[in-house]
Amino acid sequence: MKKKIVILGSTGSIGRNAVNVVKHLVREFDVVGLAAHGNIEVLARQARELNCGRVGLADISRIGELRKLLPANCKIHGGQNGVLEIATLSEADLVLCAIVGTGGLVPVLGAVKAGKDIAIASKEVLVMAGELVMREVAKRKVKFLPVDSEHSAIFQCLEGKRKVDVSKIILTASGGPFRGRKICEIRGATYESALAHPIWEMGPKVTIDSATMMNKALEIIEARWLFDVPAGKIDVVIHPQSVIHSMVEFIDGTVLAQMSTPDMRFPIQYALTHPVKHAGLLKSLDFTKLEGLTFERPDRKNFPSLGFAYEALKSGGTLPAVMNAANEIAVERFRKAEIRFTDIWSIIEKVMSSHGKLDRPSLDAILSADKWARAEAASVKIRKR
């Protein structure tokens, strides 16, 4: 029997790769719902190709245009409530969330409460509300499968292992386009140069986060909740080749690493097919052609993002959500050339330091903290030098 799936954020980088995986494994999956923010052309094409009967469109101003592009029997669910309706379709077995930013939290939480298994690519969901979400996951006894290449690697290394035997989780990071550079050298970096990632092809927000190392900061917090490990057992190492996607060190000193060519379709496919592995069209590693695998310590002085993550985990409560929201606004301000590249860190630090956190927050409290942090980050005055 085919697994019935929903793809949220289907028109983004992860979403498009997920659609490609599904099209290759057409005998395994039936896509019953797709959702996107406003890219109606790609959404309509995906719906036609996958014969999908329901789509969600967050941007309600474009519903009329979308209707003209879809088959007559395809139903449209509009607005944020529409995305939530797609996420909780009664016939769905699994929901893959690839929504960029904070927009994935409510639909993922709704899907969990509706008893759906989750494949999570939106790291912000666990950054904002890890304790709340994982409490519901345990309560509903649903799968919560990682799609990030790093977390998928850790997940695979941990399968069949005892939690008490784990000494450390080691997240690998490419280092981004500015690896090895000093703050003074990247202060005036352009948006285009920050998008020039040496290895991965990702959406613009994730790529900028990779350049600042904020992507890895978010992944530290995500790993804490996905694998139920304290922050002190989560480490980061720079691995520029991006062949080893992450590692787990055990108490006897041995280390397991998961490796593949750097292609997001590997972790996407495993999240969708778990616990079964399927043959794919993806290129396997040729070890004879690898020129070498190198590792470095992260430069936390010139790239302070990792410190923000550990601080947010130590304080807990609403501070991780505040950190995430401040980063989203700072990245947007950088895109608009309102601030310099290094000002992203300044804004995050200022907003985090001025927040009075709330412990064990409800969903409403988290969303309120997110809203506050966005307004605060937007209002931070950056002195021109």
Total Cβ atoms within 10 A of residue 251: 11
pLDDT tens digits, one per residue of 194-212:
999 888 777 889 899 999 9
What average pLDDT does the segment 282-291 reach? 88
Q: Which residues pair with 49 in a beta bridge?
A: none
Cα gap 333→322, rounded to integer Å: 16
pLDDT tens digits, one per residue of 310-332:
999 999 999 999 999 999 999 99
Question: What pLDDT is stored for residue 140 in this prediction?
Answer: 97
Spell out the residues 6+ positions from residue 254 whose beta carbon is closer than 8 angstroms to its own: none
Lowest mean pLDDT among 40-44, 100-104, 215-219, 308-312: 100-104
Quickly state the pLDDT bin for 385 (edges 50, 70, 90): low
3-state secondary structure of 77: strand
Question: What pLDDT is stored for residue 59 in this prediction?
Answer: 96
Cα gap 320→137, rounded to integer Å: 20
pLDDT tens digits, one per residue of 162-185:
999 999 999 999 999 999 999 999
- What interhelical angle do 363-379 and 319-335 show, nearest 10? 40
Quickly state the pLDDT bin for 279 (edges 50, 70, 90): confident
Lowest mean pLDDT among 50-54, 89-93, 99-103, 223-227: 99-103
What average pLDDT does the segment 216-242 reach? 97
- And the tokens for 357? 């956190």
Torsion angles phi and psi, residue 348, rounded to 5: -60, -45
Q: What angle do CA 127, 296, 14 make, to 5 degrees?
A: 40
What percent of the chain shows pLDDT beyond 90? 91
3-state secondary structure of 355: coil
- Give yes or no for residue 295 having a pLDDT over 90: yes
- Give yes or no for residue 384 having a pLDDT over 70: no
Quickly state the pLDDT bin for 101 (edges 50, 70, 90): confident
Q: Which domains does the chain have, with CATH numbers?
A: 3-146 (3.40.50.720), 151-262+286-310 (no CATH), 316-385 (1.10.1740.10)
- Give yes or no for residue 55 having a pLDDT over 70: yes
- And the tokens for 258? 């998961």
Question: What pLDDT is stored for residue 31 in this prediction?
Answer: 98
- And the tokens for 12? 């983004």
Instruction: Find how far residue 330's CA is from the centre of its chain.
Output: 18
Strands 255-259 and 244-250, sheet pairing: antiparallel
- Give yes or no for residue 371 having a pLDDT over 60: yes
